[in-house]
């Protein structure tokens, strides 16, 4: 793993010690870590995937709104939080390459350094019952 800013190291440590599905991206959108609870959502372990550039991890699923409207990658909570440097939340339906579909409440928050430089984004997921 390359040298990472301390806030990313601490975000990863937090993720490893909580039960909420939690994912950490760096400033470029590279998936650098997700915790055990997120493994079921992602469909793999961090050891299996390693660090994945944004294009690679985004290619593993399709995203739409609950009404079926497609959501462009740049409109997902993680992309908005990184671009706008503020939290973003949405309820989205993810369809994975293996056919699994999940309705998730996704909250993304930017990790900003002391001088407001972007360091990364963390995401919290909550699986919703499909009604």
The CA-CA-CA angle for residues 41, 21, 27, to 5°, reads: 95
Are residues 84 and 121 in contact, defined by beta-carbon separation less than 8 angstroms?
A: no
**pLDDT tens digits, residue range 39-85?**
999 999 999 999 999 999 999 999 999 999 999 999 999 999 999 99
Name the residue range of residue 82's domain.
6-128
Is the residue at 82 inside a domain? Answer: yes
Is the residue at 1 inside a domain? Answer: no
pTM equals: 0.89
Is the residue at 67 inside a domain? Answer: yes
For residue 109, give the CATH number of its domain: 3.30.450.20
Centroid of chain to Cα 24: 6
Average pLDDT, the chain: 93
Give the total number of structural domains in the chain.
1
Res 34: pLDDT: 95
């Amino acid at each position: 793993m390359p040298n990472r800013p301390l806030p990313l190291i601490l975000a990863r440590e937090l993720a490893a010690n909580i039960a909420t599905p939690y994912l950490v991206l760096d400033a470029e959108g590279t998936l650098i870590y997700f915790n055990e609870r997120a493994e079921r959502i992602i469909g793999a372990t961090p050891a299996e995937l390693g660090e994945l550039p944004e294009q690679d991890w985004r290619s593993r699923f399709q995203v739409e709104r609950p009404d079926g409207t497609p959501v462009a990658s740049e409109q997902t909570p993680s992309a908005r939080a990184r671009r706008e440097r503020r939290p973003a939340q949405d309820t989205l339906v993810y369809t994975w390459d293996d056919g699994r579909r999940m309705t998730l409440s996704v909250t993304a928050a930017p990790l900003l350094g002391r001088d407001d430089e972007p360091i990364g984004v963390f995401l919290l997921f909550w699986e919703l019952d499909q009604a």
